[in-house]
Amino acid sequence: MAFNELTLALQITLLTSLYLFLLFAVRTISKDLSAARGEATAGGVPRIVVVEGDVAGGSGSIPVVGQVLIGRAPDCDIILEDTFASAHHARVYSDDSAYWLEDLGSTNGTAVKGKRIEEPVRLPRGSRFKIGQTVFQFMD
Positions that interact with other proteins (CB under 8 A): 1-3, 6-8, 10-15, 17-22, 24-26, 28-29, 32, 36
Half-sphere exposure for 138 (CA within 13 Å, toward CB): 21
Nearest-approach distance from CB 23 to other proteins, in angstroms: 10
Q: Is 71 exposed, middle or buried (0-12, 13-18, 19+ CB in 10 A)?
A: buried
**Residue closer to other proteins (CB basis): 26 or 98:** 26
Nearest to 70, CA basis, from 135, 2, 1: 135
Nearest-approach distance from CB 110 to other proteins, in angstroms: 34
Torsion sign over Cα 22, 28, 31, 37 = negative
Nearest-approach distance from CB 3 to other proteins, in angstroms: 6
**Residue closer to other proteins (CB basis): 43 or 114:** 43
**Residue closer to other proteins (CB basis): 20 or 56:** 20
